[in-house]
Amino acid sequence: MPELPEVETVRLGLAPFMVGNTIESVEQRRADLRFPLPANFAARLTGRRIEAMDRRAKYILARLDDGEVLVMHLGMTGRFTVDEANGTAVKPGVFAHPGTDAPRHEHIVFHLKDGAAIRYADARRFGYMALVPEAGMADHPLFKGLGLEPLGDDFTPEALASVLAGAKTPLKAALLDQRRIAGLGNIYVCEALYGARLSPLRLAGTIVTKAGKPTERCTRLADAIGRVLTDAIAAGGSSLRDYAHADGSLGRFQHSFKVYGREGKPCPDADCQGVVKRIVQSGRSTFYCPSCQR
């Protein structure tokens, strides 16, 4: 569900409530999400002050005062909501955890010292949380192989060229590969490729010179990636089915999609007579305009 712009929006929504606050207690309603939760999860968080909230790729990072980092990934359907009054914001009739009035898919609640509650719900449970020592975080398995941070200062056409050089996989698959560039997902890959007018089927290595330098296409792609992510964050991300901000409001960027979910619609480029097409690449839908994306 959430790609970089949605994760960043969630981070921005959570930070004012969490930074500087202390975790008073943790309700953990199951032992695992996608993976087992850390041993003694609740106990290790209790009493910890949150020093900062950061993001790396699609991970939200809560830096704790004991040198550990609470790492949170939303998977496809993970959702945080802030409950300022710490009441039970439960819709009637939707219960799951026996003996409680907790919503069916609400798995973890962080109760903060000032009375707010941070609630994590995740229907498909593809999300996960981990506790990682800040010192060795770069070498941790979750982060070691992560690729370029597309909004980082070091994300340049040259850097993009370096991670695409020699790749014989289609651009679509290469850009979804978090080991090359970390943070894009299905929507923003489609939108960035449209922005750069590059075909998702084009082999990734073909936009890099033999010397490993960026071609003009590669420069266009780097620009398009930065632009679409920045614009999407400014719009509060994209809300399709599950995603909402921490305060419950919705993103707006879905109204700006050029190709995603627009199969059969005319290409938005006034100079192009093409029609948006949907194909399947490595099991995922790809939307693009075959006439102007080459």
Residue numbers belonging to the annotated binding site? 105, 124
Q: Which amino acid is at 274?
A: G
From 63-71, 217-225, 228-236, 237-245, span contacting DNA (CB under 7 A):
237-245
Among 11, 55, 58, 258, binds DNA (CB under 7 A): 58
x/- mask, DNA, residues 141-170, rule CB under 7 A, reads -x-----------------------xxxxx
Residue 206 is classified by DSSP as G
Q: CB of residue 135 vs DNA: minimum separation in angstroms?
A: 21
Cα–Cα dist 262/129, whole Å: 34
Cα–Cα dist 161/205, whole Å: 8
Q: Is residue 163 helix, strand or coil?
A: helix
| Residue 191 in the binding site for DNA (CB under 7 A) | no
Cα–Cα dist 269/134, whole Å: 46
| Residue 265 in the binding site for DNA (CB under 7 A) | no
Q: CB of residue 65 vs DNA: minimum separation in angstroms?
A: 27
Which residues are CB-contacts of 98 (< 8 A; sequence separation ≥ 6)?
Answer: none
Cα–Cα dist 124/103, whole Å: 14
Helix pair 157-164, 216-234: axis angle to 10 deg: 110
State whether the Cα torsion 10-13-19-25 is positive or negative.
Answer: negative
From 14-22, 153-161, 192-200, 234-242, span contacting DNA (CB under 7 A):
234-242
Among 49, 242, 265, 275, binds DNA (CB under 7 A): 242
Nearer to DNA, 150 or 170 (CB): 170
Cα–Cα dist 72/102, whole Å: 21
Cα–Cα dist 228/270, whole Å: 19
> Counting every residue, how long is the chain?
294
Q: CB of residue 189 vs DNA: minimum separation in angstroms?
A: 8
147 neighbors 163 (Cβ within 8 angstroms):
yes
Among 55, 56, 105, 119, binds DNA (CB under 7 A): 105
Residues tagged active-site: 2-3, 58, 284
Which residues are CB-contacts of 141 (< 8 A; sequence separation ≥ 6)?
Answer: none
From 11-19, 48-56, 85-93, 241-249, span contacting DNA (CB under 7 A):
241-249
235 neighbors 188 (Cβ within 8 angstroms):
no
From 84-92, 112-120, 238-246, 268-276, span contacting DNA (CB under 7 A):
238-246
Among 147, 150, 157, 185, binds DNA (CB under 7 A): 185
Write out the binding residues for DNA, residues 198-227 only, by CB under 7 A.
Answer: none
| Residue 258 in the binding site for DNA (CB under 7 A) | no
The residues that touch DNA, with contacts defined as CB under 7 A, are: 1-3, 6, 34, 57-58, 73, 75-76, 104-105, 123-126, 142, 166-170, 173, 178, 185-187, 237-243, 280, 282-285
